[in-house]
Amino acid sequence: MSGAVLKQQQWWAHAALVIAAFSLLALMIGLAVSIGEISIPLATTAKAVSNRLFGSVFELSRIHQGIIWDYRLSRALVAASAGASLALSGAVLQALLRNPLAEPYVLGVSAGASTGAVCVMLLGFGYGVLSLSGGAFIGAVVAFLLVAFLAAGAGGSSERIILCGVAGSQLFNAVTSYIVTTSANAEQARGVMFWLLGSLSGVRWPDVYLVVPVTMFGFAVSLFHVRSLDAFVFGTDAAASLGIAVRRVQVVLLGTTALMTATVVSMVGAIGFVGLVIPHAARFLVGARHDRLLPATMFGGGIFLIGADIISRIIIPQQVLPIGVVTALFGTPAFAVILYRARRTA
């Protein structure tokens, strides 16, 4: 009797948690739409959203309408999706590679994206056909494939995969530096390094239609593999002895995280910290079992990145701080707190 009641209670508790998470996400999106570089009264914001969503006809400055709907709302949705993707990728990689310091860029994806972007920018690859984002995406995929190829050849254990990722990243970073240094443009090379800090400024609705489905796809695939992710905790042999198809799971999950990360990086640059810290925070809150960890990580990542984006837009008046600076600035102390409390319980 008590077993069944307990299960029901648990179910209600889970449902409440999920509703709370969605509410928090909605609240953050609301905040992101209302707060920005210029102050727009809340009533105006509500009217603007209502105009587009419900077809009402409130009288509004078209500039304000455009800012709220085309700039801020699309940006908030991309921030949520990007944060969720990065955090989810981080959690999956930390489980697969059995390394608490694993994060989405460990397989060379962001280094490859920089190289791809630089090739389009400075060498004019695919001029007219390929946009900067397109070039970055291709670069990211090429880098990942190279790293995967190296890792497979080297045996495919977690340590080998990480080492190959490091090697791949270094290689592509070197290629990027080479191209930048030898390009015949008389300007400081600072602009190219924007990939390292990330920026959500250029996103519009078409980007939303791309990144949200990718995030959903990644979530579905990862959720399908929660058992496998749990089973990897003692290594590939232990997982295999529990009946997990290790090689297949590695290929599918690594490929999925690479796809999510490449999409995010090519769209908004390499935003650091989210993929590393949020999974740990989520683990601290809901535990290490992946059926709870993955959703918690996604919500955490989305909420965190929206918050970081809001801060990046208001912290310096009339200027936008690169979002990577904000994620590091606010993520580091948060992480220190998590580590400290975890040390005490362990």
Partner 1 sequence: MRKFLAAIALAFGFAGLTAPSLAATQYPLIINNCGREVVFDKAPAKIVSIGQGMSEVLFSLGLADRIAGTAVWVGPVLPQYAEVNARIKRLADNDPSFEFVVGREPDLVAAEFEWHVGQQGSVGKREQFAELGINTYIAPADCVAKINADSGDGVRKELFTMDLIYREIAELAEIFDIKERGDALIAELRQREARAVASVAGAAAKNLLVVFWFSSKEVNGDAFIAGKNTAPAYILKTLGAQNVVATEEEWPLVGWETIAEANPAVIVIATMDRRRYAADDPAVKLDFLAKDPVTSQLDAVRNKRFVMMDAQSMNPTIRTIDGIEILAKGINSFGLAQ
Partner 2 sequence: MSIRLEDVSFAAGNSLIVNGVSLTVQTGKVLGLLGPNGSGKSSLLRLICRLRKVRSGIIRLGESDVTTLARSDLARRIAFVEQQATTETQLTARDVVRLGRTPHRGVLSPLGVKDDAAVDEALSRVGMEGRATQLWQTLSGGERQRVHIARALAQSPAELLLDEPTNHLDIQHQLEILGLISRLGVTCVIALHDLNLAAMFCDQLAVLQQGSVVAIGTPQHVLTRDLIGDVFGVQAHVETSPIHGRCNIQYIIA
Q: Which of 234, 285, 316, 339 binds partner 2 (CB under 8 A)?
A: 234
x-or-dash pattern for partner 1, window 8-37, by CB under 8 A? ----------------------------xx
Q: Rule CB under 8 A: say whether 184 interacts with partner 1.
A: yes
Task: Answer yes or no: are the C-beta atoms of 289 and 230 closer than 8 Å.
Answer: yes
- Pattern 284-313, partner 2, x by CB under 8 A: ---xxx-x----------------------
Report angle CA 81, 87, 92 to the nearest 5 degrees.
120
> Binding to partner 1 by residue 345, rule CB under 8 A?
no
Distances (CA, A) of 221 to 139, 210, 214, 249: 24, 17, 11, 10
100 binds partner 2 (CB under 8 A): yes
Is the separation of the CB atoms in 118 and 156 below 8 Å?
no
Torsions phi, psi for 301 (to 5 deg)? -65, -45
Dig out the tokens for 91 from the structure.
Answer: 């959690």
> Which 8-state DSSP code applies to residue 185?
-
Q: Is residue 63 within the footprint of partner 1 (CB under 8 A)?
A: yes
Longest dimension (CA), the chain: 77
- CB of residue 41 to partner 2, shortest distance in Å: 47
Q: Which two tokens stand for residue 271?
A: 């935003």
Written as one letter, the residue type at 122 is L
Is 251 one of the binding residues for partner 2 (CB under 8 A)? no
* Stretch of residues binding partner 2 (CB under 8 A), selected from 184-192, 227-235, 253-261, 268-276: 227-235
**For the chain, what's the residue count?**
346
By the rule CB under 8 A, 123 interacts with partner 1: no
User: What does 253-270 look like in DSSP terms, one character per residue?
Assistant: HHHHHHHHHHHHHHHH--
Which CB atom, from 163 or from 328, has the smaller least distance to partner 1? 328
Amino acid identity of 274?
V
Q: Is 242 in the site for partner 2 (CB under 8 A)?
A: yes
Q: Say how far apart CA 189 and CA 172 lie, in whole Å.
A: 17
Q: Could you tell me if residue 115 is left (phi over 0), alpha (psi between -120 and 50 degrees) or otherwise beta?
A: alpha
* Distance between CA atoms of residues 135 and 117, nearest Å: 5
For residues 138, 141, 144, 148, the Cα torsion angle rounded to the nearest 10 degrees is: -130
Part in contact with partner 2 (CB under 8 A); list of ranges 131-139, 168-176, 229-237, 324-332: 229-237
Print the binding letters for residues 236-275 with partner 1: x by CB under 8 A, - otherwise. ----------------------------------------
Number of residues located near partner 2, criterion CB under 8 A: 29
Q: Which is nearer to partner 2, 62 or 344 (CB)?
A: 344
Q: Is 328 in the site for partner 1 (CB under 8 A)?
A: no
Nearer to partner 1, 187 or 237 (CB): 187
Contact residues: partner 2, CB under 8 A? 3, 98, 100, 223-227, 230-231, 233-235, 237-238, 240-245, 283, 287-289, 291, 342, 345-346
Contact residues: partner 1, CB under 8 A? 36-38, 62-63, 66-67, 69-72, 121-122, 124, 131-132, 183-188, 190-191, 194, 199, 201-204, 313, 318-320
